[in-house]
Amino acid sequence: MKLPTDLILGRSLEENQERSLPEFVEDLRERLDRIHRFASEKLKMHSDKMKQRLDTTSTKTAFKPGDAVWLYAPKRTKGKISKLQSNWEGPYTIIKKINDLVYRIQLSTSSKPKVVHLQRLARYTEHNPPDWFVVEDTPPRTEDSIAIDISGILKSLESLQNP
């Protein structure tokens, strides 16, 4: 019986002849290795095509601290139709960028911060973004400010040693 892989890879005429068991096993191993390599190449090719398609359609969104965002958090309330409920909460404020995909967000000054993935965030485009979060620009440290910090630490250590 010919299988599709036999049609693609071809079968030798020697297969119809009788062979010893070691020859059969060696031939089978070679054929399986060849089929495995062929399947691996095809999978790699299709995987590369899918990655290329995803990369061309996806948009890279980056947020910085202080940006207002919506959080995707679908709720399932018993007795209510889920299609009619809002799946987005917010506006939240980006507190910190942990890495390229993970952000720390907070709803207000009194709320607990959340750590969420980039895919659950969307840019807040309304006219009145939350203004409670202020991004502080820290002044660059100079040698004088570092020396003052070190002298303060030394004074506190001396006061601990000499009560």
pLDDT in tens, 59-101: 677 899 999 999 999 988 888 888 888 899 989 999 999 998 8
CB atoms within 10 A of CB 50: 10
Higher pLDDT, 146 or 5: 5
Q: Choose which CATH entry (2.30.30, 2.40.10, 1.10.10, 2.60.40) describes domain 68-123.
A: 2.30.30
DSSP 55-122: HHH-------TT-EEEEE-----TTS-GGGS--EEEEEEEEEE-SSSEEEEESSTTSPPEEEEGGGEE
pLDDT of res. 147: 63
pTM score of the predicted model: 0.51
CB-based contacts of 69, cutoff 8 Å, min separation 6 = 63, 90, 91, 92, 93, 94, 105, 121, 122, 123, 124
Average pLDDT, stretch 127-134? 73
pLDDT range class, residue 103, cuts 50, 70, 90: very high
Q: Which single residue is written with the structure tokens 């070691």?
A: 22
Q: 59 versus 120: which is more confidently predicted? A: 120
Q: Where are the domains of the chain?
A: 4-57, 68-123
- Across the range 54-58, mean pLDDT stands at 79
Q: Using the structure block, give the residue that is written with the tokens 């709320």.
A: 111
Residue 39 pLDDT > 90: yes
Angle 87-117-71 from CA coordinates, rounded to 5°: 25
The dihedral built from the CA positions of residue 120, 130, 95 and 59, taken in this order, carries a sign that is: positive
Write down the residue that tokens 């299988």 correspond to.
3
Q: 90 with 71: CB under 8 angstroms? A: yes
Query: What's the pLDDT band for 32 if we cut at 50, 70, 90?
Result: very high
